[in-house]
Amino acid sequence: MQIIISNSSKEPIYEQITNQIKSSILAGELQEGTAIPSMRNLAKDLQISVITTKRAYEELEKAGFIYSIVGKGSFVAEQNLEVIREKKLKVIEEQLGAVISNSREIGLSLDELQQLLKILYEE
């Protein structure tokens, strides 16, 4: 499991950890049932405090990404990827809706918008 912490980021360290573990799970790099390092081991490896990894794991548990068994450790929980994908799609639709209405306000054409999106996407 790879995690990279940035000390200069505005994002708190525990959020950097939750976000990176979340994306590893969503990308399928961490399979369901895989054991993840104990929070004390992770703290040692990342050279951060135990309470930070503890908080990250607690948030991941709350969001249903991992589960912990006392004395055994933490594991990747079963993910309903279909549902997550649908949720994400819905969010994207909403965001695109906002983009379209903003574009109309300043008279940006569909072609121009598509071109802009293309440039940004390939960046």
Partner 1 sequence: MENVVELKNVTKKFKGFSVENIDLQVKQGFVTGFIGANGAGKSTTIKMMMNLLKPDAGEVKLFGLDYKTHEKAIKERIGFVYDGNVFFEGLNLKDIKRIVAPAYKHWDDKIFLKYVEQFELPLNKAIKTFSKGMQMKASLAIALSHHAELIIMDEPTAGLDPIFRRELLVLLQELMLDGNRTIFFSTHITTDLDRIADYIALIQRGQLVFNKSIHEVAESYALVKGGMDLLDRDTEKDFVHIHRASTGFEALTDNINAVKNTFGDKVVIERASLEDIMYYLKGGMHHV
Q: Interface with partner 1 by CB under 8 A: which residues?
A: 10, 12, 14, 40-41, 43-44, 47-52, 55
Smallest gap from Cβ 98 to partner 1, in A, equals 21
Smallest gap from Cβ 42 to partner 1, in A, equals 11
Smallest gap from Cβ 58 to partner 1, in A, equals 11
Smallest gap from Cβ 119 to partner 1, in A, equals 29
Q: Are the C-beta atoms of 79 and 32 separated by less than 8 Å?
A: yes
If the CB atoms of residues 50 and 110 are measured against partner 1, the closer one turns out to be 50
If the CB atoms of residues 24 and 59 are measured against partner 1, the closer one turns out to be 59
If the CB atoms of residues 47 and 101 are measured against partner 1, the closer one turns out to be 47
Q: Token pair for residue 36? A: 């993840």
Read out DSSP for 80-101? -HHHHHHHHHHHHHHHHHHHHH
Q: List, in order, residues 6 or more apart from 45 with CB less than 8 Å away.
A: 37
